[in-house]
Amino acid sequence: MLPYFRSNTVILKPGALSLSQPIWEMIKKTEIALVLLALLSLVLRVSSVPGSEWFSTAAFGLLALFYLVFAGLRFDTSSGLPDTLSPLSRQREQAFRRFLAIAGGVVFGIALIGILFVLNYWRLAAFFWCLGMFFTVPVGALSLGKHLLQPSPFYKALAIRAGLLLLTGIGLVAAQM
């Protein structure tokens, strides 16, 4: 028994969804808004608009921070689990999905910072870009491979994001050469 138990405290079962539906929608809309800001800043930066480096730094930095902080919450790890799984297999699958979501968030954050460094011609741009692209490949490959074996919106979302980050990063470096 907890000595400081409040009457309005919600106790969740292990593996239960801890966020309400409006919060999920807010997280999705926040991601869309940040991606649109990053794309706008990318267009402005490539067009050499004065002051666009500040805008791109803020947009890519916020998007990277979003993925670092909300990676575990952004991707619903319980969606698309087959009902035929045993309880132990279900726990292992959810643990793998949680690990992949957090790893994807960290890797996507590093990749976005690498893209930001390349955009602004900062020192160590090649290092961060290579680091981000190098680790984005395994996350994307694992997600795509698991999606092909076991179709799921979770793996599909991670694979699409990893692919878009790879294409953006490679395209940006190719355009600057």
Tens-digit pLDDT profile for residues 120-174: 888 888 898 899 899 999 999 999 998 898 888 888 889 999 999 999 888 888 8
- For residue 173, which of 137, 135, 129 has the smallest C-alpha distance? 129
Amino acid at 43: V
Report whether 116 contacts 61 (CB < 8 A): yes
* 3-state SS assignment for residue 60: helix
What's the CA angle centered on 153, arms 16 and 109, to 5 degrees? 85
How confident is the model over 64-81, as pLDDT tens digits?
Answer: 999 888 877 766 556 555
Distance CA 19, CA 143 (A): 24
